[in-house]
Amino acid sequence: MTNKELKELQANLWKSADVLRASSGLKSSEYAEPILGLIFLRFTDCKYKQYEKEINEEYKKTKGSRVERAIHEIAIEKCGFYLPDEARYDYLLNLPESENLAEKIKTAMELIEKYSAELEDTLPKEIYYKVNGKDDKLVLSKLLRIFKDIPENTTLDVFGQIYEYFLGKFALLDGSAGGEFFTPSSVVAYMVNVLAPTEGKILDPACGSGGMFVQTAHYIEHHKNRGGANLNLRAYGVETTAATVRLAKMNLVLNNVRGTITEANTYSSDPYDSVGNFDYVMANPPFNVDEVELDLVKNQPRFNTYGVPQNKTKSTKKDAKETVPNANYLWISQFATALNDNGRAALVMANSASDAGNSEKDIRIKLIESGIISQMVTLPSNMFTNVTLPATLWFFNKNKVKKDEILFIDARNIFTQIDRAHRKFSDEQIKNLSIITRLYEGKTEEFQALINEYKEQFDSAPDVSDDEDIKPKSYYKEQIDWLMERFPNGVYNDVVGLCKAATLEGEDGIKDQDYSLNPGRYVGVVIEDDGMTAEEFKTEMLKLNEELDKLNSQAHILENKISENIKGLF
């Protein structure tokens, strides 16, 4: 399926489902769970059909013999789950209108859970009784028909993209609450590419819908196919919202990721005994939370190893419990302390944390001087669906070689405009930004491999193309030129406005910059972001030029009148 075909499918599915949303008995905030549940149901059916012949043949082969095996055992071994007839998509789709469809879907979900321990009490059930509206008793039936349009030969990756597309759409509908379970995939993909995970245990203490785990698994799987290690990843997630926990569990199964998701509050609960226990930690935690009680966190090693944020003065309110001024550094400390001796981490954080003062500055100094912080990256604005605050990516490496040095990257001007309000990283921008890290690590062969990849794509690309799935030669030449202009010798060097490897000591070093972790302080001047695409900038400049011509013309007329009036005085 091409990108164009996928986008058309996604748009058509959403358009149809969104029309029905207005006819259902659900609030917009409730619509995500049943919709994503039906997408999950469609996926399991499509995947099961790919293995069904093999499952049935194996079952017939052993049936009646001493080694006879139950069909569900064979199915789980070959497919990962078992689908009884009553859980099949076509069975549900073809039920007569007289049947209670909500009841049948609930039964289907229960049957899937029965044979999949990791999905126990996870799939949506009761909510399907609320889908039909007062004036439309066939909303649920119509939804089933809509998702039947997802082709049976759809790959796992495409299903994941459809699932993610709907997550993003629901995040827009839900406003700020949607941010609890959605982080744009291009941001996560960049974080994963910098970390370059291979195998082991990964923690996300604010996991939302599990996107960090899915992207990590996809990265490992991709590199395994190119000679890397076998996929050996175990995910551990913590999430406070029950409905989002269920979405995350569905997402892991949807993407073949082994893992555990626990419903808990990370500030008060550490369900996986995290200190020193993980190979990787990734998350996009909530920013600037200021209601966490100090007594709740001050005695926990995962929060107090580098120091706990505290207010300069105690509250004067009677019986008021003391709170931390801001929980950002609780999250940062959780990441640093959860890593084992070779662990690496990446987290999204508000820009303000990079220069925060008072007790947060004291914590930052300890983190910097410990040598754990490996890289800081400022993101472009408008990368997140519903968060307007500017964000920075923090990267930790417990086994960092250059303990007194941090790589700073300012990526504010590297983005692809989706629409007026939203941006993303393209696949090539992710590769280009990630290769800066690889060069800094001395992996020059990966830089050359990327250049060669672009050259091969250039050679096979058409001179011009109107198809967004087929890039022209000029596109790949731009990628090569961008890299070679900045790193002409194929080795890392500081680039003004883009990247700087700053040391702790020395002139303009980190100490000299008052322990700031703001990349803008180190990389130099960057062109201010005006939020426009090239075409929008051109249109705006032409408009301003027209206005200038009018003003010049009016000024000329006024100048002549003034001159005539002065002459009239004499």
- Write out the DSSP string of 216-243: HHHHHHHHHTTT----EEEEEEEES-HH
So what's the pLDDT on residue 182?
61
Q: Is the model's pLDDT at 388 over the cut of 90?
A: no
Q: Beta-carbon neighbour count of residue 164 at 10 Å?
A: 20
pLDDT band at 62 (very low <50, low <70, confident <90, very high): confident
Kindly state the tokens that stand for 179. 């941010």
Q: Is the model's pLDDT at 37 over the cut of 50?
A: yes
So what's the pLDDT on residue 117?
82
Q: Is the model's pLDDT at 528 over the cut of 70?
A: no
Average pLDDT over residues 232-245: 90
Average pLDDT over residues 386-415: 90
Kindly report, residue by residue over 186-217, the tens digit of the pLDDT.
899 999 999 999 889 999 999 988 889 988 98
Average pLDDT over residues 270-294: 93
Residue type at 496 in one-letter notation: V
Cα–Cα–Cα angle for 360, 321, 243, nearest 5°?
A: 80
- Rounded-to-integer distance, Cα 280 and Cα 197, Å: 8
Higher per-residue pLDDT: 177 or 351:
351
pLDDT band at 177 (very low <50, low <70, confident <90, very high): very low
Kindly report, residue by residue over 409-443, the tens digit of the pLDDT.
999 999 998 777 778 899 999 999 999 999 999 99
- DSSP 3-state percent helix, strand, coil across the chain (nearest 5): 50, 10, 40
Average pLDDT over residues 385-414: 89
Average pLDDT over residues 99-122: 92
Cα–Cα–Cα angle for 459, 465, 471, nearest 5°?
A: 50
Kindly report, residue by residue over 127-164, the tens digit of the pLDDT.
999 988 888 888 899 999 988 988 887 766 666 677 77
- Rounded-to-integer distance, Cα 387 and Cα 69, Å: 52
Kindly report, residue by residue over 295-350, the tens digit of the pLDDT.
999 999 999 999 999 887 665 566 668 899 889 999 999 999 999 999 999 999 99
So what's the pLDDT on residue 23?
82
Average pLDDT over residues 543-556: 82
Average pLDDT over residues 351-357: 93
Q: How far is CA 287 from CA 206, 307, 464, 484, 547, in A?
A: 11, 19, 44, 37, 42
So what's the pLDDT on residue 490?
94
| β pairing state of 391-397 and 405-410 | unpaired
Kindly report, residue by residue over 89-109, the tens digit of the pLDDT.
999 999 998 999 999 999 999
Q: How far is CA 570 from CA 202, 238, 562, in A?
A: 89, 87, 13
So what's the pLDDT on residue 529?
54
What contacts 98, CB < 8 A, 6 or more positions away?
none
pLDDT band at 178 (very low <50, low <70, confident <90, very high): very low
pLDDT band at 366 (very low <50, low <70, confident <90, very high): very high
Q: Which residues pair with 262 in a beta bridge?
A: 238
Q: Is the model's pLDDT at 486 over the cut of 90?
A: yes
121: left (phi over 0), alpha (psi -120 to 50) or beta: left
Contact between residue 195 and residue 347 where contact means Cβ atoms under 8 Å apart: no
So what's the pLDDT on residue 381?
87
What contacts 542, CB < 8 A, 6 or more positions away?
none
| β pairing state of 422-424 and 416-419 | antiparallel
